[in-house]
Amino acid sequence: MDRETLRALQAPLKLQYQLSPDTANVCLKAEGVVEFDVPGCRVALPCNDGKFIKAGLHPNAGGDGTQACSAELLLQALVTCAGTTLAAVSISMGLQISQAMVSAKGWLDFRGTMGVDRSVPVGFTSIEMLFRIDTEADETSVRKLIELTERYCVIYQTLLVSTPVTSVLVE
């Protein structure tokens, strides 16, 4: 996609959000069906012909490795969001990029999630995102690209600011 096409796609939305800010505030949803035969949960992907992702226990938590790991899915969400954001930002900046790769590494201690040691946190203790960008652009432009990718990546910002999460039992 080129810069003008992207701007043409986004311009009416930006105008709408400026004129009616409430229309920019949307609720995204995900719903999973819990499975008990092999502990897990499956989530439909409506944009992917309604196919499912089935997540279960990671092998380090007793899983057999045949199901997706939710922690890895979180890293994959970060990578796909950052990659999509990087693409859009690079187009907006007019940068020519021949190839780019985004990867993420997350460190977690399974003693926490397995209840082995209550002093060990449950979840990631750190996450590192890595960019490999093949471009003729100067280093300043590439650093600005990564800075803007971080600023506008929904998943990155959600993880960074520790968004409040609540749980509700629905009857």
Tens-digit pLDDT profile for residues 124-143: 999 999 999 999 999 999 99
Say if 91 falls within a structural domain: yes
Please give the residue range of the domain that contains residue 47. 29-160
| pLDDT tens sequence across 2-55 | 999 999 999 999 999 999 999 999 988 888 888 888 889 989 887 777 788 899
Task: Give the chain's domain count.
Answer: 1
| pLDDT tens sequence across 90-128 | 999 999 999 999 999 999 999 999 999 999 999 999 999
CB-CB contact of 31 with 44 (8 Å): yes
Say if 153 falls within a structural domain: yes
State the first-to-last Cα distance of the chain, in angstroms, to the nearest integer. 46
CATH number at residue 48: 3.30.300.20
Say if 9 falls within a structural domain: no
* The pLDDT of residue 38: 85
Say if 23 falls within a structural domain: no
Residue 99 tokens read as 């190839």
Residue 3 tokens read as 């810069």
Provide the mean pLDDT of the chain. 93
Nearest C-alpha neighbor of 63 from the set 114, 136, 120 = 114
Say if 114 falls within a structural domain: yes
Per DSSP, the three-state class of 14 is: helix
State pTM to two decimals. Answer: 0.88
| pLDDT tens sequence across 54-79 | 999 999 999 999 999 999 999 999 99
CB-CB contact of 93 with 167 (8 Å): no
Say if 134 falls within a structural domain: yes
* The pLDDT of residue 36: 85
Say if 72 falls within a structural domain: yes
Say if 136 falls within a structural domain: yes
